[in-house]
Chains A and B, each alone.
Chain A
């Protein structure tokens, strides 16, 4: 796992927060917004709550068990509940602290277990996967422009050029409740997962992200750094954050082996 977060070229402070914990198989990227310094408070709160909740409640024995009602694994539901908790925390703080009024954050959180990945997603931060020489965007933005594409007013190509990119339709902490998109994906050895804030995806096209990962993929830290540089070279109009994760080998949840101990070795 590798992560870089950078203030960019045009902002005076960084409102993004990234956390990676290979021991838990957890990565969180949050892009905060709103209020005087509220953005960085919101993103930090979200990331901390996520990590704390997962650390406290993750039960390795049953993490891959599927809940009958929802069809999601325990891991996915844990992520969902943790995002809910983060929402409460930010919403409450925003109402208690005048300088945090109106704050909120996007969130992409990844939890790896049993050859599988649970993704919780709110807002316009993205998750991509590179597999078999192709890049695929796994999340769908909660943004106005995405809604307009879904409704047929724009093609994705027109949307890229459109100016009002930066309108998010869902965020953590702005309403009393939030609905996160949950997704489960099979993980294969060699997969590279890339989570990023819109500071990257607004400025660097998917093809260029893919090219960079192809060129520098052997060293994820360097690849992450290159991606941030690329965004900055193209204006660096926003904070830029990137998390890169590679699955090295299968990580099935064997019954007796404490795979928690091993998970550290499964990712770079």
Chain B
């Protein structure tokens, strides 16, 4: 059974909305899936992302906020029975079929990648695969007890001002970064980190590498004492580099930064 949101005002039920698409928008503007015509509600107030049996609520930077069970939330994984309050309106989340913990036999499934702008959940169940694979619409398929791996799409990040940056995808290149020397004879010199692995330092004295990974740039000690990042030793593991971090290696200080 499809999960749904039940809209009510002052205890009186107004309408039910089945969560049968990947993105269900809530707001004052008429184009919203759940249209609440009240000034306390922002034009684009919130978004519910539904993936298989689970739904996720995200406030889209609304003026008056989104509350779940009395608590102000930006992002929230909905649980059966949750009450979402938007202005004076309430939306109750009903999901009788929420994923249970008794899912040991569920095999891994594939969620169809890539189609960020074209929501398409397609499930491949058991051997009977292809029929559901290329649906253009965003129908949610119930997850059978012993599902094989499935292919589906993860919806796009909402284009809201308060939305965080989209989830990292390796086909979206990490922004280029650089290090700039802050002291010594080479002061001002810049090195763009164009390579997947950039070696810094003096061989035989102190060497570190900066590696480019999906989630960012990481510095790792390779030879000699570990480099300092913002004056702190980094230890044996790769250490994530953040904007304006200062790396100190063999007496040379360098600042890490992203290029735009």
Q: Check A237/B104 contact, CB under 8 A, given A33-B110, A150-B168, A166-B109.
A: yes
Contact with B along A183-196 (1 / 0, CB 8 A): 11110100000000
Q: Verify if A238 is at the interface (C-beta below 8 Å from B).
A: yes
Residue A264 at the chain B interface, CB threshold 8 Å: no
Task: Assess A174 versus B151: contact at CB under 8 Å? Given A152-B164, A181-B214, A237-B105.
Answer: yes
Q: Are A179 and B110 in contact (CB under 8 A)?
A: no
Inter-chain contacts of B251 with A (CB < 8 A): none
The answer to whether B220 and A179 have CB atoms under 8 Å apart is: no
A108 to B74 CA separation, bound complex (whole angstroms): 35
Stretch from B10-18, B30-38, B180-188, B235-243 at the A interface: B235-243
User: Which residues of the partner chain B approach A181 to less than 8 Å between Cβ atoms?
Assistant: 170, 214
Residues of B within 8 A of A25 (CB): none
Task: Find chain A residues with CB under 8 A from B237 CB.
Answer: 131-132, 134, 136
Q: From residue A134, how far is it (CB to closest CB) to chain B in Å?
A: 5
Smallest CB separation, B251 vs chain A (Å): 21
Taking the complex as formed, is B205 at the interface, i.e. its CB lies under 8 A from any CB of chain A?
no
Task: Give the CA-CA distance A174 to B134 in the complex, in Å.
Answer: 11
CB of B260 within 8 A of chain A?
no
Main secondary structure of the interface of B (DSSP, over half): loop
Chain B residues with CB under 8 A of A184:
196-197, 211-212
Q: Find out whether the CB atom of B110 lies under 8 angstroms from the CB atom of A151.
A: no
Chain A residues near B209 (CB, 8 Å)? 186
Residues of B within 8 A of A124 (CB): 108
Asked if residues B106 and A148 are in contact (CB atoms below 8 Å), the reply is no
B112 at the interface (CB under 8 A from A): yes
Is the pair A148, B56 in contact by a Cβ cutoff of 8 Å? yes
Q: Is residue A133 within 8 Å, beta carbon to beta carbon, of the partner chain?
A: yes
Contact of A238 with B107 in the complex, beta carbons under 8 Å: yes
* B236 proximity list for chain A (CB < 8 A): 131-134
User: Given contacts A71-B212, A116-B197, A152-B74, are A34 and B112 in contact (CB under 8 A)?
Assistant: no
Query: How many residue pairs, one in A and one in B, have C-beta atoms under 8 Å apart?
Result: 166
Q: In terms of DSSP, what is the predominant structure of the interface of chain A?
A: loop
Q: Which residues of B contact A134 (CB under 8 A)?
A: 235-237
Q: Which residues of A contact B196 (CB under 8 A)?
A: 70-73, 76, 182-184
- Chain A nearest CB from B83 CB (Å) reads 18
| B-side interface size class | 35 or more
Closest to A72 in B: B196
How many Å lie between the Cα of A174 and that of B58 in the bound state? 30
A133-B236, A166-B106 given; A35·B197 CB < 8 A: no
Q: Which residue of B is nearest A101, CB measured?
A: B129
CA distance A168 to B124 in the complex (A): 12
Question: Once the chains bind, are B215 and A140 in contact (CB under 8 Å)?
Answer: yes
The distance in angstroms between the C-alpha atoms of A217 and B196, with both chains bound, is 30
Q: Please tell me if A10 contacts chain B, counting CB pairs below 8 Å.
A: yes
Known A-B contacts: A33-B148, A188-B222. Give 20 more (CB < 8 A): A33-B107, A72-B196, A132-B235, A134-B235, A140-B213, A142-B113, A147-B154, A153-B77, A168-B109, A169-B113, A170-B110, A180-B170, A181-B170, A181-B214, A183-B196, A183-B214, A184-B212, A185-B197, A235-B104, A237-B105
| A residues apposed to B, CB below 8 Å | 10, 31, 33-36, 38-39, 66, 70-73, 76, 99, 101-102, 104, 116, 124, 131-134, 136, 138, 140, 142-144, 147-148, 150-154, 158, 163-164, 166-171, 174-175, 179-186, 188, 198, 235, 237-238
Give the 4 A-B CB pairs with smallest separation, nearest first. A132-B236, A102-B129, A33-B149, A166-B108
10 residue pairs A–B, Cβ–Cβ below 8 Å: A33-B108, A33-B149, A34-B149, A72-B196, A101-B127, A164-B52, A168-B109, A182-B170, A184-B212, A188-B222
